[in-house]
Structure 1
């Protein structure tokens, strides 16, 4: 029965591949059609009436009539939806909300999730992820086993009955169709547990008995689960528990710093790693070619894209460009309009295009997650790659890190201060520091210029902290499990001071 199911799914995905090639070959026409459909469906909502959606005939007119929004400016409209008003932002009733932290800020974001978004964006995006995986690995037997997703939890909406709030992973799992429930593990009761430390024990117990062929989730939390399973089982690696394991589908943070750890968990060159770009706001893209390290932008999943050039990012009324205007290797803030009723919404992610035939991107960081106190313009992409290269050169295995500025004062020059936790620490910490600095210079010319003869920036200061430090900090913040992650970079010392004072 299971091999037949695997065969049937693969046949369906072969058909879906034709649709994927369609938007790859006709990207601009696809996006124009998406925008037209979104405007038609939202024309009679309060937002649509306020902004004259019935009269909009082009993407230029759309940009003129509708302002670019951040979460803060958009929240009053979302709050009305949270409290039960309908047809405010979208035509269908909104009863689910994704609780997004994005970082560990105390203030959570609540993103509306419509039934159209679940079906035509998140589930369709997941199906296309699997379609592209089978296109890369036609011999796969993925569906002869189970899929394990390390996700979050749901809770009642405190503002009204018959409505729930949760991590997007939990919202997706709670609404999965029957066929998808059949193909996954653990039980839905375990998957949606609130308390992380009890949940990880149940996950390990249930999933160690299953034939798990694939795992999806944030690398940080997947590492904790796999370490716990090995410790509990006494096995040397995960292939002793899951001998038919094929692929880890990962997202939310860069995989580069974690790759060494996963190669120890799964010591086989047959195990694949595939990146996804799935957020509370929508499923944006996937690594369509495993020989590349960029992401195919999903263009027919109920999302219309615009882009803010990086030099416009702090403008009161930033100018945007559409897909056909983007340039290779330029940095852009991502702006979306979606089938959940987000309109010209600045997601906060910075991307750059690596290809335009088809449109592929890399995520380079967050609009608010960088260090630029001294003009060094250090982005998350630079930091993660430099740490990864320094780990590789010193045989270290990363667990987590964050960094922020050391400000100028009367006695000292400025610099960057890092807090780094390792699973396997480098033997020579001074050499690691020197290598990190060296790789940052190689990856970022602005950083290199500021480091010249220590004129503006001193050598990085690194705190090599004990294992469990970031776990302790996230626990203090009530941010264990799910999609919660440590902010890699900050342009102030908020996270640094909080961790150094509370956890060390």
Structure 2
């Protein structure tokens, strides 16, 4: 027998879907409305005055006055906000800072305002409601739902709460879901990830779990612990578990592994959340891509990735994008980010409505497990390790090993040494420690035993040169990428036996 909540879910979903279709069917108008509102609301801020917002009427006016910036370039303004000043990037003060790992100088403080906060919550809710409307399946609302996330414990700085985005969002779970939600607040506040997952296993085992949500690498660890404890597949433990919600990394490398852990196929919903905004969610089970949120206080610009590093690359709006082109996504938001490069590249899979996939990062990186390790970090780690124990190398590249034959996943470093370290284990320890010091996401994964320490595969003398020659890219401006989020280069080097 259906509960009152399940009965109400369908008409509520239908109503929400209608409101989404309203703006999705008029995308250019929706974005123009967002743009004009942003400019008007921020015209009296310090940033607005510095960039003459009062005279901005069109996108071209905006392009002339507001350059593309990354966090480092916007940092002088953000530091003033962190120091407690008002009306700097957005009117008043933010209500939160989402604290994330910085790319070049420590932590990043991403502002979240009272205007921007609702979209972080509503988009995830709307994704579930669109699923209910499409499939007619609302039974899961009566079961327990788990959201694997960071600690909801927040700190305070100059009157502004700060913490991980997932911990902030935990404070906004709707009242009608509170009784269904796991883990408990006490368990959610456990800092040590391994201890936390053990506690989550104990809490959830006796429950009727229907929705499980989180970054795939973290959820995989939870599933493996469930199986270890019960010697049953996850789908047998939780008979009514039929919806997996994920975001943060590409799910495809995990899909086969997950279906094996679960023991059957389950529906999934992909989300595209970030500290800077909730950009998109999967709106159809059988359509590729996620519906871009054009009505959530975020104005989007796009620059073709292949031209991004040119002087004054062309910035276009939603109306001029094309399918299948790799774009760098630039955002301006009601949290006070302006012409902001979040570093992601996207491709459009549809323009009616506008759907995207995340195609990668504008710079090389590894984030197979949500660690966001970038080129600068691996180069710095290797440099420090080499200096510490007097080692020199000719070339290197790094790739993720997602499904090793045994043990936890890891980063595999392919290194061509000029002179090798006397102790490879000490060398590995030095690199790993430097990476943990630079990148808190990577440290969390190592400490939480989602990843094991990196492994080194030695490349033979001139092995990288032989590889580059084999793909017709030897010499000139061609370089081996320092790291990649896949194993194309790694597997080719192994296949062609360029390793020792």
**1:262 aligns with one of 258, 269, 277:** 258
Partner SS for 1:422 = coil
- Alignment match, 1:340: 335
1:2 to partner: Cα distance:
7.5
Partner SS for 1:18 = helix
- Alignment match, 1:72: 72
1:92 to partner: Cα distance:
4.2
Give the whole-Å Cα distance in 1 for the aligned partners of 2:102 and 2:13. 32
**1:361 aligns with one of 328, 347, 356:** 356
Q: From the superposition, tell whether residues 24 and 147 of structure 1 become closer, same or farther in structure 2 (CA, over 3 Å).
A: same
1:26 to partner: Cα distance:
0.7
**1:422 aligns with one of 403, 407, 419:** 403
Give the whole-Å Cα distance in 2 for the aligned partners of 1:16 and 1:102. 36
Give the whole-Å Cα distance in 2 for the aligned partners of 1:220 and 1:14. 33
**1:131 aligns with one of 119, 122, 129:** 129
**2:138 aligns with one of 137, 140, 144:** 140
- Alignment match, 1:324: 319
Unaligned runs of 5+ in 2: 380-392, 413-424, 455-479, 486-500
Answering whether residue 327 of structure 2 is matched by residue 298 of structure 1, we say: no
- Alignment match, 2:346: 351
TM alignment of 1:272-311, pairs within 5 A: 272-311=267-306
1:193 to partner: Cα distance:
3.0
TM-score using structure 2 length: 0.74
1:248 to partner: Cα distance:
0.9
**1:167 aligns with one of 164, 169, 175:** 164
Q: Deviations over 1:208-249 (max 9, x none)?
A: 2322211111101111111122223x2311123321111111
Q: Is contact 2:153–2:167 with CA below 8 Å preserved after alignment?
A: no
Q: Is contact 1:25–1:358 with CA below 8 Å preserved after alignment?
A: yes
Q: Deviations over 1:234-269 (max 9, x none)?
A: 231112332111111111111111111210222223
Q: Which moved more, 1:91-100 or 1:221-230?
A: 91-100
Q: From the superposition, tell whether residues 399 and 41 of structure 1 become closer, same or farther in structure 2 (CA, over 3 Å).
A: closer
Q: From the superposition, tell whether residues 118 and 273 of structure 1 become closer, same or farther in structure 2 (CA, over 3 Å).
A: same
Give the whole-Å Cα distance in 1 for the aligned partners of 2:315 and 2:371. 34
Q: Deviations over 1:56-91 (max 9, x none)?
A: 212221222222111100111112222222221112
Give the whole-Å Cα distance in 2 for the aligned partners of 1:188 and 1:481. 22
CA RMSD of aligned residues (A): 3.6
Partner SS for 1:363 = strand
TM alignment of 1:364-375, pairs within 5 A: 364-369=359-364
Give the whole-Å Cα distance in 2 for the aligned partners of 1:414 and 1:190. 45
Give the whole-Å Cα distance in 2 for the aligned partners of 1:3 and 1:228. 32
Q: Deviations over 1:165-215 (max 9, x none)?
A: 222111111233423433321122322432212221222222223222111
Partner SS for 2:403 = strand
Give the whole-Å Cα distance in 2 for the aligned partners of 1:140 and 1:178. 18
Q: Is contact 1:252–1:277 with CA below 8 Å preserved after alignment?
A: yes
Q: Is contact 1:353–1:362 with CA below 8 Å preserved after alignment?
A: yes
1:159 to partner: Cα distance:
4.1
1:154 to partner: Cα distance:
4.8
Answering whether residue 100 of structure 2 is matched by residue 110 of structure 1, we say: no
TM-score using structure 1 length: 0.74
Q: From the superposition, tell whether residues 368 and 219 of structure 1 become closer, same or farther in structure 2 (CA, over 3 Å).
A: same
Partner SS for 2:3 = helix
Unaligned runs of 5+ in 1: 371-379, 385-397, 407-411, 427-432, 434-464, 496-504
Q: Deviations over 1:315-368 (max 9, x none)?
A: 354431111111111111000011111111011001111211111111110011
Q: Is contact 2:152–2:166 with CA below 8 Å preserved after alignment?
A: no
Q: Is contact 1:173–1:188 with CA below 8 Å preserved after alignment?
A: no
